[in-house]
Amino acid sequence: AQKGLFDVLEHIISTGKEAHVFVARDTNGNKRAVKIFKKDTSDFKRMNEYIAGDVRFRNLPRDRRSLVLAWTRKEYKNLLIASKARLAVPLPLGFKENVIVMEFIGAGQDGCQRLKDTKPSVKELKSYREQLIDFIAGLYLAGLVHADLSEYNTLVDDDGKGGGPRLVVIDFAQGLLVRHPNARDFFERDVRNCANYFTKAGLETSYDELYAMVKKRKDGIVKNGKT
């Protein structure tokens, strides 16, 4: 608030094991999303799995408070990387200790629905699959793997600027640099999660098929010099 990133904290829009997300407004009335990581009840072992091996957090004390604060910085840094790559993520505006202020996605009191909570048509599913292929490939070329990509942390923004709904990916604290020793395993898990979602939603997609699509898109971006 002292930095001017928001003025009034309004109501909660999301709760989880690791964080609460609130709606806030700045002095001009613009909405912001404020994510507050829990210092006491966060999953210490899970966090450590993603922090360990990250060169950005070498020599980090392994007490719970230090880990939660690093987890916050990690999400902010990962969102910055994705934003600079012009990927569909909330724009990070600032952080302090265990709090991150971000762009608010969507309209209404609670913003956009998660992909999990929608029932898209086959036409929409095809569009969503293309969007996620672009996202996974683009994020990898930007140097990151999301490491927890699924329908649970993908928002559906109906304000698609005339091109239909767009997907916005959230929850980046666990994201890994591609040179992380476990990056390949988590990359493959992201692809598998997405393939499973589309198949369950009515658009048959195998892991091998989606993996090949992502690789082709990634190679195409590199070939066209868009990295």
The catalytic residues are: 148, 171
The C-alpha atoms of residue 13 and residue 97 are separated, in whole angstroms, by 21
CA angle 171, 143, 58 (to 5 degrees): 80
What is the side-by-side strand order in the sheet with 166-169? Answer: 113-114, 154-157, 166-169
Question: Any idea what DSSP says for residue 151?
Answer: G
Tell me the β-bridge partners of 157.
Answer: 166
Could you give the angle at the alpha carbon of 152 between the alpha carbons of 78 and 38, nearest 5°?
Answer: 60
CB neighbours (10 Å) of residue 175?
27
What are the distances in angstroms from CA 76 to CA 17, 43, 163, 192? 19, 19, 29, 26
Query: H helices of the chain, where?
Result: 44-51, 64-84, 122-141, 183-201, 207-223
Place of tokens 């719970």: 64
- 176, 186 in Cβ contact below 8 A? yes
By three-state DSSP, how is residue 33 classified? Answer: strand
